Structure 1
Amino acid sequence: MSELHPIGAPVDRWDADAARGLNGVDELAYRSNLLGADRSLANRGGGNTSMKGVTLDHADRETQTLWVKGSGTDLATITAVGFPALRLDDLLPLRGRKAMDDADMVAYLVRSGLRPDQPRPSIETLLHAFVPAQHVDHTHPDAVIALTSNPAGRRLAQEEFGEEAVWLDYQRPGFAMSKRIAELLEEHPRARAVLLAKHGLVTWGDSGEESYRATLEFVGRAAETLERAGAGRFGLGGWSVRPVSDDEAERLLLAALPALRGELLADGPGVILEVDRSPEAVAFASSARAPKVSQIGAPCPDHLVNTKHKPLVVDFDPKTASAEDLAERVRSGVREYGNWYRDYYERNLTDESRPYPIDPVGPRVVLLPGVGIVTSGGDAGKARFSRELYERAIAVESAADAVGGFESLSEPEAFAIEYWPLERYKLAQLPPQTELSGRIALVTGGASGIGRATARRLAELGAHVAVADLNSEGADEVADEICTRYGMRRALGLAVDVTSEEAVAEIVRRIVLEYGGLDVLVCSAGIASSAPLTETTLADWEKNYAVLARGYFLAAREAFRVLTEQGRGGSIVFVGSKNALVGGANAAAYSSAKAASLHLARCLAEEGGRHGIRVNTVNPDAVIEGSAIWSSEWKAERASTYGVAEGDLPAFYRGRTVLGVNVYAEDVAESIVFFASPRSAKSTGNIINVDGGVTAAYTR
């Protein structure tokens, strides 16, 4: 199984020209960025680096100082301001203490800082303080973790490194581990590195470059040791299930993802899925020993909060089971996993972890034999983070298994790390959940006007938005704008002709494969024509009905299919018009098509009720600014109908409203979002008019 190959040696990224001229903390940031750029060396948010030197404190006194990575920052992107400065003379005396609990340690570190506004120091700050070197790097390399996570690891490390490295059996990060490392280095003065079993590596040097190169050296040698020791045994026993084609994988995933997401939504707020179909992911999920090896536990403490102690392995063989079988096995598997996780929480609960409520009980990682791996998170970024971490787990577990068997933390220790107050602190620093966090919305007609305003507002409230429009460039622009503002994968631009059954079905398939399902559909794709009845062509009539009636029907039908598979309800919002309620001259095709979509919404509300699917309509009127429709012939035609100049239309429409106001796309979007959100959880079949008050359009 060549897809599961030995761990390779890291690439030396040090650029002398780039490093030249960098001094102090700027060079520390440069070195950190190099380490973080290679995820086989440092997980996102994991690992820490430091330097020691002299600086001036607030009173201009020379102070021996430790600069260390701030808690929760990422080595790949950290800048100089991410390194808090601490008084080294405050830290070194702690070596004389016999014990220090985490809360006292954190408080002490904060008080030892030189500036009150700097980041909170890493929980492994004392490790850096106690290592007697100017520059220290602590990383989580795949090769070192694999070497130290199997029964043969200590022997292999001794054979390779001898007195150059000291071995520390697993110990939770904190004061005791830091003190023990200092003792080991005193006992082994020739050591150049510390191997932290089931955790990582510590290296150091007189310069940043020396420390960086020491990391690469020891990781490279660990990788070579693993390759020699595991020769011929990589691959987790070979294929148990043969991988399916891309087309077959897509068919299976379209059945499995809504089923998985629906079960995960049963026990938490919104959730986003990500599929990993890389050769390594497919090989791992499909290997003979993955069902056993994957259940041993996470390979590194840093993984636990984002991947949990173990993944769900679905019992599935595409040769003998159907897509429907897969969906049902996913559902039952998630329920069984949830029962396990509740028991895991209860049996491992301690006084330290008791203040923290149980996390959503579903799996964060799901192995689908023959297909790949699916990860989940509260948003796309978190789902990607879980994927990145499990990519590291694949490398570590495969290599350790080849060498002699993978070993992980004990279950009580894994739980203690997962609910460790210091890890929970990191979670508490994340931005709070918003109303639509982790929800998935499709907006048709999203490139302009009401659709664009709605897509922006949904994204602002946390939704992941598929922006669909016949104007594909416009859809992409809106999606890119949302991603730039709110983060990766927060929006997806899609080209669609809503009158095409195949095109509408395809965009919904794309959304399911991209995010895992659907929660909200906003039908805002529009068209308008104005003409006296005798001048209305059959083509005009059919075009209005194709977009405004058929288009809404097709999108709603595809949404219903996904929402019922998820089994967690959903919201569909039709963008109607004042014309759906009020008869008017010279717009028979447009107005009657809008009336048809309004009544379609009522019918769908009746059908959707038993599934928890709500269907409502927002009726705007005269939303001129930013509208593609009002930039077309419609504006001139309506001005002619009312006998006013085009430039006077806003004043004309404002004058006929009870409130004396013009209506803007953002006003309509606010009502759409109300129907899309839990605020309207008990409303269906309803209409909100956003028209400034047009008396003839009152619904009662």
Structure 2
Amino acid sequence: YLSQCLIGLNLPRQSIETLLHAFIPAAHTDHTHPDAVISLACSADGENWARKLYGERMAWVPYIRPGFTLSKWIGQAVRDASRPKVECVVMGKHGLVTWDDDPRACYDKTIRIIQEAEDFIAEQPGARTAFAVTRAPALAPDRRREIVAQILPVVRGAASVAGRMVARYDDSPDVLGFVGADAPAAGAVAAVGAACPDHLVHTKRIPLFVDWDGANLQSLISNLQSRVAQYVRDYETYFHEHAAPNDKMGNPAPRVVLIPGLGMITTGKDAALAQVSADLYHRAIAVMRGATALDRFVSLTEAESFAIEYWPLELYKLTLRPPDRELAGRIAFITGGASGIGRAAAFRLAAEGAHVVIADVNASGAETVAAEIVKKHGTKRGLAVACDVTNEAQVAEAFRQTALTYGGVDIVVSNAGLAASAPVTETSRAEWDRIYDVLATGYFLVSREAFKIWQAQGTGGSLIFVASKNGLIGSKNAAAYNSAKAAEIHLARSLAEEGGALGARVNVVNPDAVVQGSGIWDAGWREARAKGMGVPPDQLEEAYRQRTTLKTNVYAEDVAEAILFFASDRSAKTTGGILNVDGGLVAAYVR
């Protein structure tokens, strides 16, 4: 109907609400989906419950798909002269409509009607018994998060069958109470269907409910893998049973996973959408609880659920989102991300759609970078974690926080660094160990945690070492630094062989003389290198430029481009590689 009334066919589509507002004879209309009112609308005897509460003040409209007919029915109910007391319309399995000529009066009316529904449900005997019996009590908070940090990569990997997904964990009290409930069993109620048509695009018709006794973690992991795979097959069957010839199947993976004792995992193309799925399922839990308090929760039929999920008007909304960027849905973890090359890489990967974890011993610097990424690219796009790469426990905790926040990791940039310059005869054992702890052991510890997640995730990954041309050629007065960088390069080659079976690629970027913004040029390093080259410290950049084949300086942003290449699918068939970003140094040409 709306398309036939357009003046310009190339104009944006009008909302389906346009007709509703047009047919109601009032200046202001509120169409809402409040939990308590939907609880009435989604109970088996919903119309009678609503009439018992509101009496002649309400008009009931049975469920019909939004559009011209629904708007017409509501308009007729509002205009019906034989029912002068009507002040609201309750739509079966859908929501609430109120209206008034004054916007504040309309708002106040909406709030009052919702509050009446909340009070009414709370007074019912069933309100004290709905989901009150606990079959699977929640595990202790620390134990929950210990387990979830291990299973989130499993869920995320299994759910990424049609593109990388971000996973989010939720152990709010209402979620824990619901997933562990009996009489009725939460799994059976959740399998009835969606609590509101508007939820379907973000939660799908039903969640994946994975029963677990809270004891055997390995059995839970195996069960999750098989159950997600079965959910995908069931969704494909659901699609093919109801699809029209031109329908294109969306991502068949679950958007909501419920596990007794642990809580809820939601997925989305990015962290914000995973949060939307979680927010909507909180509302679904409230509706299921309210409807069960009255009698029994009911939902749309399977066929109607499909029709809403693949309704062109709903799908059109998705087309309004910006197109996916190159690293959409991927999680990047960058050590030394608070400054220099790490900071530039964080901004570059975020610009291509990645969610970025900035791990740095400089916690405040990491927070600053993460905040800048969030400000520019949106909520939850950046995460700061304090991490000393020489500390085994801190490295493990940084990856655990990453898994708990995003569900796993795809790109790991090992970049944390430091430098020292001294003749070998003046290099102390403590200084030697300090350099090797960061540049060799630190790179090993980060790699080990990344590989653990990639084993669980099953979707491969990209590990990028930021080494140095000093790892390929020697120089005076830097034996510890040079040999540690050489160790990084050979560690990368070795890990490339181990990572092949996982689909994990390991490559090296070799920068040189990145002076601006780099933390390693502090503490006298600039002066030492300038002295070694026989130039004043303020002429060091020019000396570096003149020694290159291309007569150019190298900046952190240049190295970030090389990191992006290895992080992206552009280098999908490259592992064990070395890419120099040094302006051209003959001695460092890889042979």
- Residue of 296, 300, 312 corresponding to 2:192: 296
TM-score for both structures, normalised by structure 2: 0.97
1:139 alignment counterpart: 32
> In the TM superposition, what is the alpha-carbon distance from 1:220 to its structure 2 partner?
1.3
1:275 alignment counterpart: 169
1:418 and 2:309 are equivalent in the alignment:
yes
> In the TM superposition, what is the alpha-carbon distance from 1:632 to its structure 2 partner?
3.0
- Residue of 321, 325, 335 corresponding to 1:444: 335
Preserved contact between residue 127 and residue 294 of structure 2 (Cα < 8 Å): no
1:176 and 2:69 are equivalent in the alignment:
yes
Deviations 1:406-463 (A, max 9, x none): 0001111110110000001100000111111111111000000000000111111111
2:482 alignment counterpart: 591
- The share of aligned pairs that are identical, in percent, is 49
Please tell me the residue identity of whatever aligns with 1:341: Y
2:354 alignment counterpart: 463
Please tell me the residue identity of whatever aligns with 1:325: S
1:163 alignment counterpart: 56
Please tell me the residue identity of whatever aligns with 2:90: L
1:239 alignment counterpart: 134
SS in 1 for 2:139: coil
1:396 alignment counterpart: 287
For structure 2, list consecutive stretches of 5 or more residues without a partner in the other structure: none
Please tell me the residue identity of whatever aligns with 2:339: S
Residue pairs, 1:37-52, within 5 angstroms: none
CA distance in 2: counterparts of 1:219 and 1:210, whole angstroms: 14
SS in 2 for 1:326: helix
1:286 alignment counterpart: 180
2:225 alignment counterpart: 331
1:472 alignment counterpart: 363
Bigger Cα displacement from structure 2, 269-278 vs 152-161: 152-161
Residue pairs, 1:321-360, within 5 angstroms: 321-350=215-244, 354-360=245-251
Preserved contact between residue 661 and residue 692 of structure 1 (Cα < 8 Å): yes
Please tell me the residue identity of whatever aligns with 1:246: P
Residue 685 and residue 207 in structure 1: after superposition, are their counterparts in 2 closer, same or farther (change >3 A)?
Answer: same
SS in 1 for 2:291: helix
CA distance in 1: counterparts of 2:3 and 2:221, whole angstroms: 46
CA distance in 1: counterparts of 2:132 and 2:353, whole angstroms: 43
Please tell me the residue identity of whatever aligns with 1:315: D
1:621 and 2:491 are equivalent in the alignment:
no
Deviations 1:617-645 (A, max 9, x none): 00000000111112331111000111111
> In the TM superposition, what is the alpha-carbon distance from 1:335 to its structure 2 partner?
0.6
> In the TM superposition, what is the alpha-carbon distance from 1:236 to its structure 2 partner?
2.1
> In the TM superposition, what is the alpha-carbon distance from 1:129 to its structure 2 partner?
0.7
Preserved contact between residue 126 and residue 292 of structure 2 (Cα < 8 Å): no
Deviations 1:74-105 (A, max 9, x none): xxxxxxxxxxxxxxxxxxxxxxxxxx4xxxx2
SS in 2 for 1:521: strand
Please tell me the residue identity of whatever aligns with 2:366: A
CA distance in 1: counterparts of 2:44 and 2:496, whole angstroms: 61
CA distance in 1: counterparts of 2:280 and 2:246, whole angstroms: 27
Residue 545 and residue 107 in structure 1: after superposition, are their counterparts in 2 closer, same or farther (change >3 A)?
Answer: farther
> In the TM superposition, what is the alpha-carbon distance from 1:495 to its structure 2 partner?
0.8
CA distance in 2: counterparts of 1:621 and 1:471, whole angstroms: 23
> In the TM superposition, what is the alpha-carbon distance from 1:182 to its structure 2 partner?
1.7
Preserved contact between residue 445 and residue 524 of structure 1 (Cα < 8 Å): yes
CA distance in 1: counterparts of 2:151 and 2:393, whole angstroms: 21
SS in 2 for 1:412: helix
SS in 1 for 2:213: coil
Please tell me the residue identity of whatever aligns with 2:192: I
1:126 alignment counterpart: 19
Deviations 1:211-238 (A, max 9, x none): 1111112111122222223445443252
SS in 2 for 1:111: coil
> In the TM superposition, what is the alpha-carbon distance from 1:120 to its structure 2 partner?
4.3
Please tell me the residue identity of whatever aligns with 1:324: Q
Residue pairs, 1:241-640, within 5 angstroms: 241-265=136-160, 267-288=161-182, 289-318=185-214, 321-350=215-244, 354-640=245-531
SS in 1 for 2:459: coil
Bigger Cα displacement from structure 2, 197-206 vs 218-227: 218-227
Bigger Cα displacement from structure 2, 225-234 vs 288-297: 225-234
Deviations 1:291-321 (A, max 9, x none): 1000111011110000000000002110xx3
Preserved contact between residue 259 and residue 328 of structure 1 (Cα < 8 Å): no
SS in 1 for 2:194: coil
Preserved contact between residue 234 and residue 399 of structure 1 (Cα < 8 Å): no
Bigger Cα displacement from structure 2, 323-332 vs 119-128: 119-128
> In the TM superposition, what is the alpha-carbon distance from 1:568 to its structure 2 partner?
1.1
SS in 1 for 2:462: strand
Preserved contact between residue 24 and residue 79 of structure 2 (Cα < 8 Å): no
CA distance in 2: counterparts of 1:486 and 1:232, whole angstroms: 43
> In the TM superposition, what is the alpha-carbon distance from 1:383 to its structure 2 partner?
0.4
Please tell me the residue identity of whatever aligns with 2:70: M
Please tell me the residue identity of whatever aligns with 2:41: T
Please tell me the residue identity of whatever aligns with 1:139: T
Aligned residues: 587
Please tell me the residue identity of whatever aligns with 2:22: A
- Residue of 225, 228, 236 corresponding to 2:120: 225
CA distance in 2: counterparts of 1:410 and 1:287, whole angstroms: 25
CA distance in 2: counterparts of 1:221 and 1:690, whole angstroms: 67
Residue 421 and residue 232 in structure 1: after superposition, are their counterparts in 2 closer, same or farther (change >3 A)?
Answer: closer
2:96 alignment counterpart: 201
Residue 155 and residue 112 in structure 1: after superposition, are their counterparts in 2 closer, same or farther (change >3 A)?
Answer: farther
Preserved contact between residue 270 and residue 436 of structure 1 (Cα < 8 Å): no
Preserved contact between residue 531 and residue 586 of structure 1 (Cα < 8 Å): yes
Bigger Cα displacement from structure 2, 626-635 vs 586-595: 626-635
SS in 2 for 1:185: helix
Please tell me the residue identity of whatever aligns with 1:126: L
CA distance in 2: counterparts of 1:379 and 1:612, whole angstroms: 23
CA distance in 1: counterparts of 2:30 and 2:129, whole angstroms: 30
Please tell me the residue identity of whatever aligns with 1:671: A
1:669 alignment counterpart: 560
Preserved contact between residue 327 and residue 354 of structure 2 (Cα < 8 Å): yes
For structure 1, list consecutive stretches of 5 or more residues without a partner in the other structure: 1-99
Please tell me the residue identity of whatever aligns with 2:198: D
Preserved contact between residue 171 and residue 177 of structure 1 (Cα < 8 Å): yes
Preserved contact between residue 127 and residue 290 of structure 2 (Cα < 8 Å): no
Please tell me the residue identity of whatever aligns with 2:193: G
Preserved contact between residue 563 and residue 569 of structure 1 (Cα < 8 Å): yes
- Residue of 31, 44, 52 corresponding to 1:151: 44
CA distance in 2: counterparts of 1:194 and 1:501, whole angstroms: 61
2:105 alignment counterpart: 210
Please tell me the residue identity of whatever aligns with 1:298: A
CA distance in 2: counterparts of 1:331 and 1:224, whole angstroms: 42
Preserved contact between residue 454 and residue 673 of structure 1 (Cα < 8 Å): yes
SS in 2 for 1:335: helix
Residue 461 and residue 234 in structure 1: after superposition, are their counterparts in 2 closer, same or farther (change >3 A)?
Answer: farther
Please tell me the residue identity of whatever aligns with 2:230: E
Q: Cα RMSD over matched residues?
A: 1.4
